[in-house]
């Protein structure tokens, strides 16, 4: 029988990174070789004491994740940073290194992407058959996943409702993908734009990204999972994909392990930034769940479509997004319009004693999210040489565990 952990008693964190050539930063599809080097076999995952490594859909991406539930977030920065440096050492013989951020800035996925050919290949082949997994929306998305436990329907309802409310402003904090195909896209979180559109063929899989108001496992199964399974069944007669993980909303319930997984955080330049953002999100969720700002019934008034409009705004405009006073009131803001930056500063001021890496978080709020800092570094010179220079510096930030400062 599985152990059901209560709210905020444990955490699961996953960080995804690209493997690139040390000189020109082109993608290097060798995650299977990397795992083979430490395990002796081609397998989808290798476990160490604190952190595990696992494969992703494509061979140029490696995922690092907590090896089981972690009781505290604070030590994870050190554990992940240690693994990053260990992997970079192992990649030396391939003349490769890890690259952070949520998307490669000039990779051509149609020409360069190579799908994982080993374990779970039937799953990836089925996805590819239905959706054609060669585009950016499949092959060029790196994110941070945060898994939070719940013990019963009551805890699920509180946690899921709170997560719905914070999702729209997460991109303002974590956007790191302003460049795709070698060009500034006009969006600060281009990864999420591809993410929300890459399975439009079957709309129920992603929905509005912001999940519906759901209060129980049975209701979730009836309103989300079964609808999704039914819509994909004509493309997936063998039921290869008809599992909870098919769900691609911005946060998905995993009743097989009694967690909700937040999926919309872009990978940052170093684990300290990733875990700082994660700890801030957790601190806010704790206050929402405890109904410090608004009662649960009031929190449930927000429709997915209304929250989605804020979400689309922060994908594009980041910290400068205009936030209406009704939304700010969820977090105890006084009436009146504000920017996402002002809202995050207000939130940070209320939870700063409860977060890890507070100095990093304050810098992100003041200086801008990583996408804004990358854009500032590019300025009016989005030449291939300048983009490569900026992203090579980001790779150094990952290796050294330092926050990226605009060049």
Q: Write the DSSP string, 153-207.
A: HHHHHHHHHHHHHHGGGHHHHH--B-EETTEE-S-SBHHHHHHHHTTTTSGGGTT
Cβ contacts of residue 240 below 8 Å, gap of 6+? 122, 123, 126
pLDDT > 70 fraction of the chain, expressed in percent and rounded: 99
The answer to whether position 405 is within a domain reads no
pLDDT reading at 252 higher than 90: yes
Q: In the structure encoding, which two tokens stand for residue 331, read together?
A: 């977090």
Residue 57: pLDDT band (50, 70, 90) is: confident
pTM: 0.97
The answer to whether position 1 is within a domain reads no
Number of domains in the chain: 1
Quick one: how far is CA 150 from the chain centroid? 20
Q: Name the phi and psi angles at 260, rounded to 5.
A: -115, 130
Contact 214, 252 (CB under 8 A): no
The answer to whether position 236 is within a domain reads yes
Boundaries of domain holding 103: 12-400
Distance between CA atoms of 6 and 169, rounded to whole angstroms?
A: 26
Taking the alpha carbons at both ends of the chain, their separation in whole angstroms is 53
Q: In the structure encoding, which two tokens stand for residue 176, read together?
A: 């790191």
In sequence order, the β-bridge partners of residue 65 are 14, 52
Q: Point out the least confidently predicted range of 82-86, 117-121, 132-136, 334-338.
A: 117-121
The answer to whether position 3 is within a domain reads no
Residue 392: pLDDT band (50, 70, 90) is: very high
* Closest residue by Cα to residue 266 from 372, 386, 405: 372
pLDDT reading at 221 higher than 60: yes
**Residues 199-232 as b or e (16 or more Cβ within 10 Å = b):** beebebbbbbbbbebbbebeebbeebbeebbeeb
The answer to whether position 5 is within a domain reads no
The answer to whether position 2 is within a domain reads no
pLDDT reading at 280 higher than 70: yes
pLDDT reading at 1 higher than 80: no
CATH label of the domain that carries residue 379 = 3.30.590.20
Q: Taking all residues of the chain, what is their mean pLDDT, rounded to a whole number?
A: 96
The answer to whether position 7 is within a domain reads no
Contact 318, 312 (CB under 8 A): no
The answer to whether position 81 is within a domain reads yes
Distance between CA atoms of 263 and 265, rounded to whole angstroms?
A: 6
């Amino acid at each position: 029988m599985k152990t059901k952990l209560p709210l905020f008693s444990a955490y699961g964190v996953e960080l995804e990174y690209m493997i690139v050539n040390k000189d020109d930063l082109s993608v290097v599809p060798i995650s299977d070789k990397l795992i083979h080097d430490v395990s002796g076999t081609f397998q989808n995952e290798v476990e160490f004491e604190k952190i595990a490594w696992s494969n992703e859909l494509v061979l140029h991406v490696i995922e690092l994740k907590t090896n089981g539930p972690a009781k505290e977030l604070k030590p994870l920065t050190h554990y992940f940073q240690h693994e990053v440096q260990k992997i970079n050492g192992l990649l030396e013989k391939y003349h490769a290194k890890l690259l952070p951020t949520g998307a490669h800035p000039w990779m051509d996925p149609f020409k360069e992407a190579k799908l994982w050919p080993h374990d779970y290949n039937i799953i990836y082949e089925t996805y590819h058959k239905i959706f054609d997994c060669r585009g950016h929306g499949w092959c060029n998305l790196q994110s941070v996943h945060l898994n939070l436990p719940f013990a019963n329907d009551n805890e699920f309802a509180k946690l899921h409702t709170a997560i719905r409310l914070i999702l729209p402003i997460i991109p303002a904090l974590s956007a790191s993908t302003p460049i795709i195909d070698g060009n500034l896209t006009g969006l600060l979180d281009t990864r999420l734009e591809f993410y929300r559109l890459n399975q439009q063929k079957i709309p129920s899989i992603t929905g509005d990204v912001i999940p519906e108001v759901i209060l129980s496992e049975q209701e979730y199964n009836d309103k989300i999972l079964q609808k999704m399974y039914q819509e994909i069944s004509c493309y997936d007669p063998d039921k290869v994909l008809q599992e909870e993980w098919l769900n691609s909303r911005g946060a998905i319930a995993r009743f097989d392990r009694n967690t909700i997984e937040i999926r919309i955080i872009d990978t940052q330049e170093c684990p300290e930034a990733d875990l700082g953002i994660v700890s801030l999100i957790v601190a806010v969720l704790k206050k929402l769940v405890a109904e410090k700002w608004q009662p649960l019934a009031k929190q449930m008034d927000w429709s997915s479509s209304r929250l989605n409009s804020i979400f689309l705004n922060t994908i594009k405009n980041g910290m400068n997004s205009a936030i209406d006073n009704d939304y700010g009131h969820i977090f105890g803001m006084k009436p009146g319009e504000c920017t996402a930056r002002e809202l995050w500063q207000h939130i940070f001021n209320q939870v700063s004693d409860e977060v890890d890496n507070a100095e990093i978080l304050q810098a992100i709020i003041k200086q801008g999210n990583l996408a804004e800092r990358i854009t500032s570094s590019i300025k009016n010179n989005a030449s291939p040489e300048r983009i490569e220079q900026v992203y090579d510096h980001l790779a150094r930030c990952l290796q050294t565990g330092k926050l990226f400062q605009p060049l």
